[in-house]
Amino acid sequence: MNNHEIDYKLYGDDMQFVEVELDPNETVIAEAGSLMMMDDQIRMETIFGDGSSETGGLMGKLIGAGKRVITGESLFMTTFTNEGLGKKHVSFASPYPGKIIPMDLSELGGKLICQKDSFLAAAKGVSIGIEFQKKIRTGFFGGEGFIMQKLEGDGMSFIHAGGTMHKRQLQPGETLRVDTGCLVAMTADVDYNVEYVGKVKTALFGGEGLFFATLRGPGTVWVQSLPFSRLASRVFAAMPQKGGENKGEGSIAGGLFDILGGDR
């Protein structure tokens, strides 16, 4: 592989940013909008796809960019290259409260599967693609866990987890059930499936959704305590509605009005 070797330093606790140190001519790639600050003599360039391959022409770049659209990301990514003579620094911030997790792909078998919105930045040469779950049931009901990103290469990558991140090492045959939104990343050897919760009452009134992810070892799994979708739904529920009133989060009457389509 031709991944650039980059050094880094993490700052902060719950609202972290990562500072990447670039030697002359070294490059880091990042999601559009994740830049926090950078030194002088760092050239910023917008590219199609991830720039991991210099071959394939325009069609290859369009295919790579198109794969990103399927995951809900932008067609473009941004590269940051040190064009100076000494070491330079560029920093990337997390999009919401949580942790930035450094992932050395050379220690993870060269491949990591992660949530489609968790990727933050990586050394140039890391390939960022899509990972479809092969089972039909997973495809129809997997929700956030169906279309995932895959990071391939032997370089350093950085992903973001909401809230607190928990790393779990699964032994062969060991099973872990996780809310699909709470799954951040897993190594390629983990067997992944989506299963129905099993009881109609639990499905309708439990508030946890109809399906959860079943992860079977061996392999490593990273789980987040606060998915962005959960954070956004709570913020939306607390927002003032028509007439300056909120929806009455936790109110039984409010829930019935929502179901029946009535006005408060």
Q: In what order do the strands lie in the sheet with 156-162?
A: 42-48, 76-82, 27-31, 119-123, 156-162, 98-104
Residue 239: inside a domain:
no
pLDDT at residue 55, as a whole number: 44
pLDDT attached to residue 66: 54
Q: What's the confidence (pLDDT) of residue 59? A: 55
Tokens of 102: 């450094």
Average pLDDT over the chain, rounded to whole? 78
pLDDT (mean) for 64-68: 53
The confidence score (pLDDT) of residue 153 equals: 92
Q: What is the pLDDT of residue 54?
A: 53
Question: Domain containing 41 — which CATH number?
Answer: 3.60.160.10
How many domains is the chain built from?
Answer: 1
Please check whether residue 256 lies inside any domain of the structure: no
pLDDT digits (tens, 9 = 90+) for 14-61: 889 999 999 999 999 998 889 999 999 999 998 876 666 554 555 555
The residue with greater pLDDT, 262 or 20, is 20
pLDDT in tens, 215-247: 999 999 999 998 877 777 777 777 776 655 555
Q: Residues 130-174: pLDDT tens digits?
A: 886 655 454 444 444 457 889 999 999 999 999 889 999 999 999
Q: Does 234 fall in a domain? A: no
- Residue 263 is assigned to a structural domain of this protein: no
Whole-angstrom distance, CA of residue 117 vs CA of residue 72: 8
With pLDDT > 90 as the criterion, what percentage of the chain qualifies?
Answer: 42
Residues of the domain holding 122:
7-226
Asked if residue 55 belongs to a domain, the reply is yes
CA–CA dist 213, 192 (Å, integer): 7
44 in a structural domain: yes
User: What was the pLDDT predicted at 256?
Assistant: 43
In this predicted structure, what is the pLDDT of residue 136?
47
The pLDDT, as a whole number, for residue 160 is: 93
Whether residue 252 is predicted with pLDDT greater than 90 in this model: the reply is: no
SS (H, E, C) 113-145: EECCCCEEEEECCCEEEEEECCCHHHHHHCHHH
Contact by Cβ (8 Å): 218, 189:
yes
Residue 213 is assigned to a structural domain of this protein? yes
Vertex 206: Cα angle to 249 and 204 (nearest 5): 100
* Residue 138 to residue 142: CA distance in whole angstroms: 5
Which strand ranges, in their side-by-side order, compose the sheet holding 111-114?
Answer: 127-132, 147-152, 111-114, 183-187, 219-224, 165-170
Give residue 239's pLDDT. Answer: 76
As a dihedral over the C-alpha atoms of residue 135, residue 174, residue 128, residue 209, rounded to 10 degrees, the angle is: 60
Express as a percent the part of the chain with pLDDT over 70: 68
Structure tokens at 32: 């559009």
Listed residue (43, 139, 129) closest to 82, CA to CA: 43
140 vs 2: CA distance, rounded Å: 37
Q: Taking 50 as the threshold, does the pLDDT of residue 7 lie above it?
A: yes
Q: Which of 204, 169, 172, 206 lies closest to 187 in space, CA to CA?
A: 169
Q: Report the predicted TM-score, pTM, of the whole model to 2 decimal places.
A: 0.76
The verdict on residue 248 lying in a domain is no
